[in-house]
Amino acid sequence: MSVGMTVLSIVLGILAVGGLGILLYLICSPMPVVKLLRRQEDGEIKRAPEYEKARGKVRIRKDLTYPSRYGQNTYDLYLPKEAPERRDAPGKEAGAPLILWVHGGAFVAGDKCGIETWGVMLASKGYAVASINYGWAPEYTYPAQVRQVGEALAAVKALCGEEGISDDGTMTGTAVLPEEISIDRKRVVLAGDSAGAYLALQYAMAQTNPTLAARLGVVPLPEEEKPKGALLYCGPYDIRQALEIENKMLRFLILRIGWSFLGKKNWRKSPLIDTVTPMAYVTKVSVPCYITDGNSFSFEGHGRALGEALRAEGIFVKERYFDRETGEVSHEYQMDLTTENGQLCFGDTLEFLEKVL
């Protein structure tokens, strides 16, 4: 055999071994998919036309820390500069209702900063908005993220008392809130987009279903402090449906996300698999919900099924979906407030908040 053929054989052997290694990595670990999702860059931030005017009415506190048993326990706080009026006493100031927002990212990626435009716009309308980070899967597996929603909520509510929380998460005598602003801990709405909508909903369901709370290790809130509603943007609410997807590539990706989230390759055998579908835990005291999604690469079917389950128990539901005739409306469409659809969603949100709070 010539030297050239020997070298070629060695190169081909190395490539074959390398290819086999990559294949085994794809088969034996969810991390290739996770790393791919984490490398995705956020798109251009789309500001609402009135963003600059709204920004002048808002204070922002970045990268605050909430005490947590898990990682990535930070949040941003968007506050109105002027306290809203009390509904029962016009002219008198009230505490700002709180919206606790959980970001999306397929449970394995994403960041709290992605909702800055929404945070500013809602705060300019008199709401306090806390946008939280949480521990990504697979480093932290379900239900850690659901518990972190409760941990973050407790930290933000602590700002209502005499003591505040410093940037490192410790209790201090210096409040994070400006003196002229307070948060009404009894008027709280949970919000989330995509995977964050799922996490927000699971926490809300646990607050109204003791069985689910016990299974997930979620601490029940006092009755008067339970969430008054949930804003659910483009979320998946039936995780087990991933097991039925026919498209092989999409199934491969989603199964890896499920593997990361639940911590088992064969996650249909996870000890908590029976808890992952919020619709199964709807009761007559579940929270009112606003549910929306696009019509392309979306979870519209999940949203509609959730709405039906809530209405069957007499729970108030407000929904927005889009007919195919209206054109393509993508997953997470609401983030672009420069569009008519995004503005419709924002209007829906304000109407829902007015009703439930």
Confidence of residue 45 (pLDDT cuts 50, 70, 90): confident
Residue located via tokens 């209007």: 347
- What are the pLDDT digits (tens) for 204-245? 999 999 999 999 999 999 999 999 999 999 999 988 776 676
Chain centre to alpha carbon of residue 297: 18
Q: Name 333's Cβ contacts closer than 8 Å, sequence gap at least 6.
A: 234, 294, 339, 341, 342, 345
The pLDDT tens digits of the residues spanning 181-201 come to 899 999 999 999 999 999 999
User: CA-CA distance, 210 to 231, in Å (whole number)?
Assistant: 22
φ, ψ of residue 93 to 5 degrees: the values are: -80, 150
| Host H or E run for residue 118 | helix 116-123
Choose the weakest-confidence range: 79-88, 133-142, 209-218, 321-330. Answer: 79-88
Q: Is the pLDDT of residue 4 over 60?
A: no
Q: Are 54 and 124 in contact (CB under 8 A)?
A: yes
